Homo-oligomer: A and B are copies of this chain.
Amino acid sequence: MSRQTGIRVLRQRGGYGYTYAPGRKPIARVKPGEKVVLRTPDAFENKLRTAKDLCTRKCSFPFVNPQVGPIHVIGAEPGDTLAVTIHAIEPDRDYVVTALIPRFGGLTGTAVTAMLNEPLPEQTRILPLRDGFVEFNDMIRIPYQPFMGTIGVAPRIEAIGSLNAGVHGGNMDCVETSPGREVWFPVFVEGAHFYTGDAHAAQGDGELTGVACELAAKVTLSFQVIKGKTIGGPRIVSEECLMACGSARPLEDAARIAWCELIRWMVDDFGFDRLDAYHLLGQVGRMRLGNMVDPNYTMVAQIERKYLPPR
């Protein structure tokens, strides 16, 4: 722990995680409220450094999207909710990587949406990160709006690949898991066993090409445990909104999961009648597309706090 800041720096040992899994030895045991800093490599494990470094040559599936963790949060038990505050996501280098990967992405045949067409060409792009912008090219600058592409907790018995998403969180690739937000997860195992990785400097809705502005980052987090509160999947709290995440295929099922979890929240914590909440979301609900490229797609249902009664 650094004396100056009171922030504890955690180091990954024994290799990154490529699955969200119970039963791995934690890299640290952390108390609720304690601030920690992690260094997360990018989704390509920092192996792509020039435009000539192609993913299919440098990376070896399924050893991609490396995760830092697990972090054991003291006091978290199955049935509780883990609330993670993202304090900061700072660049750990002066560039980002983006890419086209054959048979991966939203507008191409893939391993799942299997087709006979020739794949799109593979490409790697190294984009400078300067003065708060990603420089897409000489003309176009994209504001630095970082978030964690992959964030979640260990499931109860499965080991879920870090490219996938579900009720445990994981690779949701939704831009809302950003600094200043609190992200909630159901706790399935003693200590919650939190993981994160895959920081993005910027990303469009849907992560259309399958690859965002991939960043090695320094991430500052703290954890709280909401004892005895059981939720059905990831939730996000911002100053303006409450949000619930759903991950599934097809996309409408991801949306349905997210809407139903948001309604549950409105009923449980804000006293709504279930059909009243449904009616209200029909008129004021917002839906954000997280990703439409990963094994499970992610949608985020949102309601502005101004429509909610005081708790």
Q: Which residues of A contact B (CB under 8 A)?
A: 18-19, 21, 62, 98, 100, 105-109, 111-121, 123, 125, 134, 136-137, 139-140, 142, 156-161, 202-213, 246, 248-253, 255-257, 259-260, 263, 274-276, 278-287, 289, 292, 297, 299, 307, 309
Q: A157-B18, A158-B158, A250-B250 are in contact. Are A100 and B275 (CB under 8 A)?
A: yes
A202–B106 CA distance with the chains assembled, in angstroms: 31
Residue among B107, B113, B286, B287 making CB contact with A116, cutoff 8 Å: B107
Q: A255: nearest residue on chain B (CB-CB)?
A: B292
Q: A201: nearest residue on chain B (CB-CB)?
A: B283
Q: Are A278 and B208 in contact (CB under 8 A)?
A: yes
Q: Which residues of B contact A260 (CB under 8 A)?
A: 107, 114-116
Q: Which residues of B contact A111 (CB under 8 A)?
A: 257
Sorted from nearest, which 6 A-B pairs have the closest CB atoms? A209-B282, A250-B250, A204-B285, A117-B117, A251-B251, A159-B159
Q: Which residues of B contact A18 (CB under 8 A)?
A: 157
A172–B211 CA distance with the chains assembled, in angstroms: 29
- Can you name 18 A-B residue pairings with CB atoms under 8 Å? A18-B157, A98-B279, A106-B255, A107-B115, A107-B256, A108-B116, A114-B256, A114-B260, A117-B117, A136-B280, A142-B283, A204-B285, A208-B259, A208-B281, A208-B285, A212-B282, A252-B292, A252-B297
How far apart are A195's CB and chain B's nearest CB, in angstroms?
14
Q: Which residues of B contact A116 (CB under 8 A)?
A: 107-108, 120, 260, 263, 274-275, 278
Most chain B C-beta atoms within 10 Å of own C-beta, residue among A115, A161, A292? A115
Q: Which residues of B contact A286 (CB under 8 A)?
A: 204-205
Q: Are A113 and B160 in contact (CB under 8 A)?
A: no
Residue among B113, B211, B213, B248 making CB contact with A256, cutoff 8 Å: B113
How far apart are A232's CB and chain B's nearest CB, in angstroms?
9
